[in-house]
């Protein structure tokens, strides 16, 4: 039962443009959402998070938007840089230590 | 400022052998979590441990898998009599508190890639 879904396995964007990654979830008990970034042969690195009491959280070039009614969140990266090329995982938690991860979206930033 | 250390990075085992994966948490972290990533899938929770205690092993397969986090030394994920379906990347994470994602996002190691031949 895949509770967190990332329906786009890959995304290609030109350097300097915006990258938009999408994530949908089914469990209405989720109240905390995170994005992790992963390079090949490395572990996931925490990027940004958002609590369900907010609809937006911004950290530098990264912004996460949450639409609770649609059970949807997105990650915006502006402007995209070559070093942003990686796999991005959406994860969700329901007030405990367990994270449910999506399958990931591979972002490629073209020069 | 060492992060979460996992070893070995790569492990090859034949069917029926045992696999031992080790994880040393970040300095000051006493909460350890193991996740498994199968090919083309996201990470899936396996087990949560504190020193000398298993807090939650609801994600562990019922047979052949066990985990420990002794008072001294690293956490160990042990897989007995490995099968090809056990081939995956196994990630360990640690946190400073066990109060969930709010207070301390998980810090992951670089993983152990297990290949069963």
| Chain A CB contacts of B45 below 8 Å | 98-100
d(CA A87, CA A103): 9
User: What are B16's strand-pairing partners?
Assistant: none
What's the rounded mean pLDDT across residues A87-105? 91
User: What are A109's strand-pairing partners?
Assistant: A13
pLDDT score at B43: 94
What number of helices (H) and strands (E) belong to chain A?
Answer: 0, 11
Q: Closest partner residue to A93 among B6, B41, B101, by Cβ?
A: B101
Interface test with A, best of B105, B110, B113 (most A CBs within 10 A): B105
pLDDT score at B95: 87
pLDDT score at B101: 58
* Helix, strand or coil, per DSSP, at residue A82: helix
d(CA B3, CA A44): 12
Query: Does position A13 have pLDDT exceeding 70, yes or no?
Result: yes
pLDDT score at B18: 98
Position with higher pLDDT, B115 vs A1: B115
pLDDT in tens, A39-62: 998 999 999 999 999 999 999 999
Interface test with B, best of A6, A39, A42, A43 (most B CBs within 10 A): A43
Q: What band does B29 get if pLDDT is binned at 50, 70 and 90?
A: confident
Query: Does position A69 have pLDDT exceeding 90, yes or no?
Result: yes
| Chain A CB contacts of B108 below 8 Å | 36, 43-45
pLDDT in tens, B77-92: 999 999 999 999 999 9
Q: Please, what is the average pLDDT of chain A? A: 95
User: What are A32's strand-pairing partners?
Assistant: A51, A93
- Find, in chain A, the residue whose alpha carbon is nearest to that of B111: A43
């Amino acid at each position: 039962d895949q509770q967190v879904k990332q329906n786009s396995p890959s995304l290609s964007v030109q350097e300097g443009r915006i990258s938009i990654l999408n994530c949908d979830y089914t469990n209405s008990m989720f109240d905390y959402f995170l994005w992790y970034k992963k390079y090949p042969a490395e572990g996931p690195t925490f990027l940004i998070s958002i609590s369900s009491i907010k609809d937006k959280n911004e950290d530098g070039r990264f912004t996460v938007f949450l639409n609770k009614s649609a059970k949807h969140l997105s990650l915006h990266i502006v402007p995209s840089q070559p070093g942003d090329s990686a796999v991005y995982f959406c994860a969700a938690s329901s007030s405990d230590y367990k994270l449910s991860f999506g399958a990931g979206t591979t972002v490629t930033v073209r020069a | 400022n060492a992060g979460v250390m996992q070893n070995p990075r790569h492990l090859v085992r034949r069917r029926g052998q045992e696999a031992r994966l080790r994880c040393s948490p970040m300095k000051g972290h006493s909460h350890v979590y193991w996740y498994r990533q199968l090919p083309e899938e996201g990470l899936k929770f396996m087990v949560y441990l504190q020193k000398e205690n298993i807090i939650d092993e609801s994600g562990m397969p019922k047979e052949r898998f066990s985990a420990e986090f002794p008072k001294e030394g690293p956490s160990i994920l042990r897989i007995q009599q490995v099968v090809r379906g056990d081939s995956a990347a196994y990630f360990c994470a640690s946190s400073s508190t066990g109060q969930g994602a709010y207070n301390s996002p998980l810090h992951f190691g670089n993983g152990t890639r297990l290949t069963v031949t």
